[in-house]
């Protein structure tokens, strides 16, 4: 079965890794047809294992090889496609749209955090198909109240986010 692993915290805040090395760690852990998409920790691969087994095996392999506490989220190719196709927001060059990949029910935690955060003009969030989407004007991602919530240490093992355009790039490399 074909999967995509979304790594959290790759190439930010001192956690630097080359995608070729990450791909090799995946291969050494028994994954096949391993490829990376962008330098933000999106790894496409094939395996006969289920998602829970893969998460455990790959987090352990990444943690040991790179000497850091690895968090990653594994989705099937079909699940990964939904992040792109279910996006509720129209394309607008003035905004960034993010989709959040994470633990089961993380969308409910995120919507609660979003509702409690102060919002900039036109900042929106929506859950579609159990996927949390966030739209924020360009230049305000890290300055927004909700953007700051995303860095909370208490949430670091719960999710990672990707710009919606990343999913389009991943889908061009996945064979559905």
Q: Within its chain, how far is the Cα of 70 from the centroid? A: 13
List, in sequence order, every beta strand (DSSP E) within the chain: 2-7, 32-37, 42-46, 72-76, 95-102, 124-128, 131-137, 159-163
Q: What is the pLDDT of residue 13?
A: 63
DSSP 8-state class, residue 106:
H
- How far is it, in rounded angstroms, from Cα 87 to Cα 94? 16
| Higher-scoring residue by pLDDT: 74, 118 | 74
Structure tokens at 79: 């699940």
pLDDT of residue 3: 97
Contact, 98 vs 132, CB < 8 A? no
Q: Are 33 and 13 in contact (CB under 8 A)?
A: no
**CB contact at 8 A, 48 and 57:** no
pTM for the full model?
A: 0.92
- pLDDT band, residue 12 (cuts 50/70/90): low
Q: Is 43 helix (H, G, I), strand (E, B) or coil?
A: strand
Q: Which two tokens stand for residue 101?
A: 């990949």
Contact indicator for 74, 54 with CB cutoff of 8 Å: yes
Higher pLDDT pick, 153 / 106: 106
Name the phi and psi angles at 132, rounded to 5: -90, 125
pLDDT above 90 for 1: yes
């Amino acid at each position: 079965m074909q999967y995509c692993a979304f790594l959290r915290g790759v190439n930010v805040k001192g956690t630097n890794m080359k995608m070729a090395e990450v791909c090799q760690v995946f291969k050494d852990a028994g994954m096949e047809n391993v490829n990376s998409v962008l330098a933000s920790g999106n790894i496409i691969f094939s395996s006969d294992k289920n998602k829970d087994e893969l998460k455990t095996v790959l987090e352990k392999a990444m943690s040991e090889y790179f000497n850091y506490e690895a968090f990653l989220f594994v989705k099937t190719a079909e699940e990964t496609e939904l992040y792109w196709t279910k996006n509720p927001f129209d394309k607008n060059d003035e905004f960034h749209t993010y989709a959040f990949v994470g633990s089961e029910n993380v969308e409910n935690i995120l919507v609660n955090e979003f509702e409690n955060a102060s919002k900039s003009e036109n900042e929106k969030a929506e859950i579609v198909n159990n996927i949390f989407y966030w739209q924020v004007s360009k230049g305000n991602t890290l300055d927004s109240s909700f953007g700051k919530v995303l860095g909370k240490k208490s949430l670091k093992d719960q999710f990672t986010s990707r710009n919606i355009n990343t999913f389009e790039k991943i889908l061009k490399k996945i064979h559905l």
